[in-house]
Amino acid sequence: MKIDVLSLFPDMFTGVFEQSILKKAKEKGVASYKVTNFRDFADNKHNKVDDYPYGGGAGMVLMPQPIFDAVDSLKQQVAPEAKPPRIILMTPQGDRYTQRHAEELAKEDHLIFLCGHYEGYDERIREQLVTDELSIGDYVLTGGELAAMVIIDSVVRLLPGALGNDVSAVTDSFSSGLLEHPQYTRPANFRGFKVPDVLLSGNHAKIEEWRKAESLRRTRERRPDLLEAYKEKPE
Ligand code: 6GU
């Protein structure tokens, strides 16, 4: 998967792409990342990327020209017969991101994330360029960068070969619609606090039964909203 990011603050991404699963995915050839500063595409001599809103009002609006030209340039860098990219606008007005979106995006070959800072976006960017608008939750971030990092992380870990062990992605919380059951490791008795006997029993059917029951219990206690959705549509 090819992942492009358009941002005025490309340095925010260094580090994130160079650690852990995102780094491993790159090393294995599962994903590639490139961050482009769309200020480099501004066609005015001050490299201006925003301007006052028509009709007046507070704040600045990102102009269409640098962003359209930057996206055109990214599209020219892939084979013309390639599947067209998903062009994802990061905005608190977007669809609220969930694991379902991650699973859907993981099927794509090319993602382009558009990250704005403080400003609004000229509506023609939304209307003519963008395929998806996403928000990561109901709170305001200074810019779309941190949200794009969250989405990139959650998508890349789903790509075949990105995780060492392919079962861990599907058994994680949310993929099944339920929260994960409690886990224990050695020692069996830590400061007098014991691991549940069933996990030491060697009875795999009983262990699975216990895990399913704990998963349901944890979901009921912490996320009754998830449990309702699960009851209507298990798995
Ligand atoms: Cl995608 N952008 C900004 N600026 N704030 C957010 C967000 C995105 N998602 C949640 N808050």
Q: Is the pLDDT of residue 170 over 60?
A: yes
pLDDT tens for each residue of 121-161: 999 999 999 999 999 999 999 999 999 999 999 999 999 99
* Residue 235 belongs to a domain: no
Of 103, 119, 133, 180, the catalytic one is: 119
Write down the pLDDT at residue 164.
80
- CA–CA gap between residue 142 and residue 193 (Å, rounded): 44
Of the pLDDT bands very low, low, confident and very high (cuts 50, 70, 90), residue 233 is confident
Question: Residues 184, 142: one domain?
Answer: no
Amino acid code (one letter) for 116: G
97 close to 136: Cβ distance less than 8 angstroms: yes
Of 92, 108, 132, 211, the catalytic one is: 92
Ligand 1 close to Cβ of residue 90 (< 6 A):
yes
Q: Is the pLDDT of residue 166 over 60?
A: no
Question: Residues 29, 112: one domain?
Answer: yes
Question: Residues 122, 218: one domain?
Answer: no
Ligand 1 close to Cβ of residue 143 (< 6 A):
yes
Burial of 71 (C-beta count, 10 Å sphere; 0-12/13-18/19+): buried
* Residue 167 belongs to a domain: no
What is the residue range of 189's domain? 173-229
* Residue 13 belongs to a domain: yes
Mapped onto helix, strand or coil, the DSSP state of residue 182 is coil
Which residues face 36 on adjacent strands? 6
* Residue 14 belongs to a domain: yes
Is residue 124 annotated as part of the catalytic site, yes or no? Answer: no
> Which residue among 8, 119, 141, 145 is best mutated to probe the pocket of ligand 1, counting the most ligand atoms within 8 A of its Cβ?
141
